[in-house]
Amino acid sequence: MKYRWCIEPAQTLLASRLAQSQKISPLLAQCLINRGITDEALVPSFLDPRLKNLLDPFLLPGMEAAVERLFEAREKSETMVVFGDYDVDGVTATALLIEVFSQLGWKAHHYLPHRRDEGYGLTADALKHCQTKHQCGLLLAVDCGSNAFDAISALSRNGVDVIVLDHHEACHPLPPARAIVNPHAHPNPGGAAGAGAPTPFLELCSAGLAFKLAHALVKRGREKGIQAAEAYDLRPLLDLVALGTIADVVPLRGENRVLVAAGLERLGSTARPGLVALKQIAQCPVKVGVYEAGFHLAPRLNAAGRLETAEESLDLLRAGSMAEAVAIAGKLNQRNQERQAIERGILERVVERVERVFRPEENFVIVEGDPDWHIGVVGIVASRILQKFYRPTIILGGDGGCLRGSGRSVQGFNLAAALRECGDLLLRHGGHAMAAGVTIEPGKLEAFRERLNGLARASLTHETLQPALRVDAEVDLDEINIASLGALERLRPFGNSNPAPHFFARGLGHHRPLQRMGADKQHVKMWVTDGLATHEAVWWGAGEGALPVGTFDLVFEPSVNYYNGRSTPQLKVLDWRPSEPGNGTSELELGTRRTTG
């Protein structure tokens, strides 16, 4: 077994009640329960996410103060700057806000920091260059600023007001900004609109927060009788929101689910020249899903900011013609190829280093750095290393005389909290439980590795360092059919906190001989049966690993295979194990079917 199987307990009575009340299948009901949807009243909005279900944007803490200051700037014709970030979330949020401000009557410029020369957020160099380029009295920090206490204090002393629109963990005390729209920065975000008000959704990324701010501005503008606000349609902005939300891998629950579902529809038929050109060069299908947005569009949009500056990416999103957009998309595609080549080179060197010294019983974290490694791709490399070794991983590259990089973590180890415990060894740090950024002096790298490893050993076990494979339910193969798969489609869009359904079937055998596929025969096609139903199953990337023999149990992700005008179920193999008593299967059970409750 490659994974530690975590099979959700069957909740037959609750699933049956949900199925009957909502007129859905028990299998779909069990999947909803596994995703925390146990209240019958919540099922319709989850299965049919609608924009009308979005909450009032003014429920978000800090939103009233932000809108008040922005309208003050508009009334005074005050110049403002949207200070963004160089990743997809930051760029889409910046593009959205510049579009809204320009159409609703604000004098707004933008500034995106240079990843290598200026670094992330409100650094001294970035602010100096920003103020030189755009003298302003109001700065809107997007996807950054929650930890910039000193920088915002200095801006305030120099007569510059700051509004923070961000979703990262914040420092305490909070920076002295005019407004901080960040649900994670406030100890009681549900109290923003007073007792009895709905609790605002807290997991929005910056693109989602930008949309909420735009909604608040339009709402307040209509109250003020501003003509441009009266006619303004927010829905065309949703393609940007969906792209930023998917790229930032925030939970696809609550309002994120609504925004992404509606945004993917917009993305499929977008009239935005930049996204039309990007879809063409990425060879996306007409119907864009989470996978295409996250793995075809986002990396190309991210490429420029990873290597240098994200200005080209922002220019693409703001392009006014197809000719302009096609030219920029071509450049971004080339930069993405350059990024991939740099990433492959660094990944090979990191793997070589780790494999030379890695001891699974002792090494609970992986920390590697080199001044020659490009800081724009070390976060991707950290993700790849985590996938290979399944350890919290930090990879650092050169940043002048320092090392700067990114970390990725595993369930059970809060990376941002651990970095706070190492604060005396670090120059800068910040981020989330599962991802964070670090700057350190090279001479302190070994001490940092040792302390971080000690913290990980105290909170992780060898069992938790085997990746978990979540399984929604045990099924018989005849439960997987075109009708049940059509019902499960209602769970889309899949993503963080709403994964694609995974199922488990026991006591299977081969109906036909296995078939190798692919140029290097690295994939395997099987026909598996439980004696009553038979399905085609594909194991992508099986390689030379051990293949199922005899009687076996299988964890799989089901889908519909369309071929020659026919639709048939197909199973994507995720893991397998021999069927044996030690796996909870008796010899008697191998020849019998499980009875579904």
pLDDT tens, residue by residue, 154-166: 999 999 999 999 9
Domain 55-237 is found in CATH 3.40.30.10: no
CATH architecture of 470-591: Beta Barrel (2.40)
Is residue 555 within 8 Å of residue 504, measured between CB atoms?
yes
Contacts of the segment 459-464: beta carbons below 8 A, 24+ positions apart: 459/412, 459/413, 460/364, 460/410, 460/412, 460/413, 462/360, 462/361, 463/4, 464/410, 464/411, 464/412
Whether residue 377 is predicted with pLDDT greater than 70 in this model: the reply is yes
Instruction: Give the other-Cβ count within 10 Å of 97's Cβ.
Output: 28
Q: What does each C-alpha distance from 594 to 18, 505, 591, 597 come to in angstroms?
A: 22, 10, 10, 9
Helix (H, G, I), strand (E, B) or coil at 166: coil
Q: Name the residue with higher pLDDT: 581 or 203.
A: 203
pLDDT of 196: 64
Alpha helix ranges (H) inside 282-321: 290-292, 298-307, 311-317
The pLDDT tens digits of the residues spanning 184-202 come to 887 666 555 555 678 889 9
Sheet holding 79-83, edge to edge: 107-111, 79-83, 138-142, 161-165, 179-181
Instruction: Produce one character per residue of 28-37: b if its CB has 16 or more CB atoms within 10 Å, e if not.
Output: bbbbbbbbeb
From the candidate CATH numbers 3.40.50.2300, 3.40.50.620, 3.10.310.30, 3.30.1490.20, the one assigned to the domain spanning 358-459 = 3.10.310.30
Burial class (CB in 10 A: 0-12, 13-18, 19+), 246: buried
* Segments making up each domain of the chain, as ranges: 55-237, 358-459, 470-591
> Residue 387 half-sphere exposure, CB side, CA atoms within 13 Å?
7
Give percent above pLDDT 90 in the chain.
85
pLDDT of 565: 87
pLDDT of 169: 82
Burial class (CB in 10 A: 0-12, 13-18, 19+), 517: middle
Is residue 415 within 8 Å of residue 344, measured between CB atoms?
no
pLDDT of 189: 63
Distance CA 227, CA 236 (A): 19
Helix (H, G, I), strand (E, B) or coil at 337: helix
Whether residue 475 is predicted with pLDDT greater than 60 in this model: the reply is yes
Closest CA to 202 of 329, 305, 55: 55
Whether residue 595 is predicted with pLDDT greater than 80 in this model: the reply is no
pLDDT of 194: 59
Distance CA 449, CA 254 (A): 37
pLDDT of 337: 95
Burial class (CB in 10 A: 0-12, 13-18, 19+), 543: exposed
Token pair listed for 381: 């490399």
pLDDT of 191: 52
Sign of the alpha-carbon dihedral angle for 282, 283, 287, 290? negative
Distance CA 401, CA 499 (A): 42
Whether residue 320 is predicted with pLDDT greater than 90 in this model: the reply is yes
Which amino acid would we find at residue 21?
A: S
Distance CA 596, CA 525 (A): 28
Is residue 526 within 8 Å of residue 573, measured between CB atoms?
yes
| Cβ contacts of 218 within 8 Å, gap of 6 or more | 100, 104, 229, 232, 234
First to last CA, the chain: 28
The pLDDT tens digits of the residues spanning 63-73 come to 999 999 999 99
Distance CA 437, CA 419 (A): 9
Q: What is the DSSP string of 523-588?
A: EEEEEEE-SS-EEEEEETT-TTSPPP-SSEEEEEEEEEEEETTEEEEEEEEEEEEE--GGGT--TT
Query: Using the 8-state DSSP alphabet, how is residue 155 labeled?
Result: H
Distance CA 580, CA 553 (A): 9
Distance CA 116, CA 114 (A): 6
Quick one: pLDDT band at residue 431, thresholds 50, 70, 90?
confident
> Residue 8 half-sphere exposure, CB side, CA atoms within 13 Å?
21
| Lowest-pLDDT choice from 142-151, 427-436, 514-523, 561-570 | 427-436
Distance CA 300, CA 280 (A): 12
The pLDDT tens digits of the residues spanning 36-69 come to 999 999 999 999 999 999 999 999 999 999 999 9
> Residue 72 half-sphere exposure, CB side, CA atoms within 13 Å?
11
Which amino acid would we find at residue 208?
A: G
pLDDT of 582: 55
Closest CA to 331 of 350, 345, 314: 314
Sign of the alpha-carbon dihedral angle for 165, 171, 172, 174? negative
- Residues facing residue 405 across a β-bridge: 396, 438
Whether residue 1 is predicted with pLDDT greater than 80 in this model: the reply is no
- The angle at the Cα of 185, spanning 438 to 434, to the nearest 5 degrees, equals 40
Is residue 433 within 8 Å of residue 407, measured between CB atoms?
no
Quick one: pLDDT band at residue 589, thresholds 50, 70, 90?
very low
Whether residue 592 is predicted with pLDDT greater than 50 in this model: the reply is no
455 φ/ψ angles, rounded to the nearest 5 degrees: -65, -40
Distance CA 334, CA 311 (A): 15
Quick one: pLDDT band at residue 597, thresholds 50, 70, 90?
very low
Is residue 557 within 8 Å of residue 500, measured between CB atoms?
yes
Residue 486 is inside which H or E element, if any? helix 482-488
Distance CA 202, CA 187 (A): 12
The pLDDT tens digits of the residues spanning 192-243 come to 555 567 888 999 999 999 999 999 999 999 999 999 999 999 999 999 999 9
Whether residue 153 is predicted with pLDDT greater than 60 in this model: the reply is yes
Provide mean pLDDT across the span 335-364: 95
- The angle at the Cα of 122, spanning 117 to 125, to the nearest 5 degrees, equals 40
Token pair listed for 543: 């390689």
Helix axes 238-247, 254-268, angle to 10 degrees: 120
Is residue 83 within 8 Å of residue 111, measured between CB atoms?
yes
- Residues facing residue 503 across a β-bridge: 473, 556
- Regarding beta strands 534-539 and 566-578, do their DSSP bridges make them parallel or antiparallel, or are they unpaired? parallel
Helix axes 26-34, 12-22, angle to 10 degrees: 110
The pLDDT tens digits of the residues spanning 270-315 come to 999 999 999 999 999 989 999 999 999 999 999 888 877 899 999 9
Question: Which residue carries 């994507």 as its tokens?
Answer: 572
Whether residue 355 is predicted with pLDDT greater than 70 in this model: the reply is yes
